[in-house]
Amino acid sequence: MYSLKRAVEEQASRGYVERVEKVLNPELEPTKYMKKADRAGSTVVFRVSSSEIECVSGVVNTRRKLYELLKAGSDEEAYTKLSSSLDRKSANSRELKFTEQFEVFSNSLTSLPAIKFYSIDGGRYITSSIVIARTPDLDSFNASVHRLMVLDDRSMAIRLVPRHLYRIYELNKKAGRDTEVAIVIGAHPLVELASSMSPPYGVFELEMVEHLGGEPLEIVYTPMYGIPVPAYASIVIEGRITRSLAREGPFVDIFVLPDRVREQPVVVVDRMYVSRNREYFHVILPGGGDHLILMGFPREAAIWESVRRVVPRVRKVRLTRGGGMWLHAVISISKEVEGEGKTAIMAAFAAHPSLKHVVVVDEDIDPDDLEEVEWAIATRLQASRGLVVIRNARGSTLDPSSDDGLTDKVGIDATAPLARRDMFRRPEE
């Protein structure tokens, strides 16, 4: 059963869950409780004064929680599940009746527990929303996670980046149509993870969930637009991404820095539904563990898959927290021939185009220990031999030092030369 509520109950049985008894102001006050829980690796349940719906945050703010959900005992097992799910489509989804799972939510958007996280934010935000739309050119569906800024009772601004939903929106716009969508809030974390992945255009992310979780996903079809959505979610919104634009932002994003204000499409709400099961409303803390893992872990798996295709033995891959699990990677390999360090660097950049800096180290260096990584750079790198610099490449617009995503990239080959490997090993005690 892919229910966020059920997942939180299982975490509570393991001692992961904290509850805030005080009803919080949706502007700024929840942030300090979510930050405290995030530092402790806890899941936190709370309620805000604008809504009767309970919120939860920190559901996958640690690697341990994610691996328990994936039933994975190692990095390799978790990466393999994600990588192999890209090629597998499920035909075994369990279809339930929409009206048995949801009832009409007659209140307005302002009655939802949207949060203003920081004083600089442009408004109250929904940060875990999965937007599902039909692909007009392939007769399939696409699911992806987008932030939504509440504008008024019936409309929101959606942040669109040039990926699959943007393509769907542009195709519909050229045809003079709005883009009909179902917006899902409070889905099971594996549904959220699948929706954060980047399979080829036309592959429906919800069809990957069964492979990740080991059982068929329960779905229902929305009454107005016939869009498949998870049966167990807190809120489902049927609406349209219109051709109208509104100012979206500022929004404090993954680096806990304000993303700039942009003109973004307006979503108009046609109908809202609330879970009869009273599911939790998932709140993702910007720059918190949920945000980093849901956004970054699929890219970490992609880097692992890409590097292991060209380097026989990859020991560990880490997108670092200091790099927002987005811009910085450290890769440990068992080098067999000279040049494999640079090969790994190029494979990593190809797998994750937003990557800005990557460090490759030998198998005796643990990428989780950044002091060891720095030691390897200090003792094994000569810049004239080990640096790879790529100028004016497409990177990430989340990098504030970039020119709207145009950036310089650096690869660091901090592996020891094979001919003198023993000179670079620390003696055993």
- Alpha-carbon distance 79 to 56, whole Å? 26
From the list 121, 178, 253, 413, the catalytic residue is 253
- Alpha-carbon distance 15 to 33, whole Å? 17
SS percent in the chain: helix, strand, coil, step 5: 30, 30, 40
* Separation of CA 31 from chain center: 19
- Alpha-carbon distance 297 to 325, whole Å? 8
- Alpha-carbon distance 309 to 97, whole Å? 44
Helix, strand or coil, per DSSP, at residue 88: coil
- Cα distances (angstroms) measured from residue 140 to each of 103, 236, 303, 360: 26, 20, 27, 39
Query: Residue 164, class by beta-carbon neighbours within 10 Å (0-12 exposed, 13-18 middle, 19+ buried)?
Result: buried
Query: Residue 270, class by beta-carbon neighbours within 10 Å (0-12 exposed, 13-18 middle, 19+ buried)?
Result: middle
253 is catalytic: yes
Catalytic residues: 253
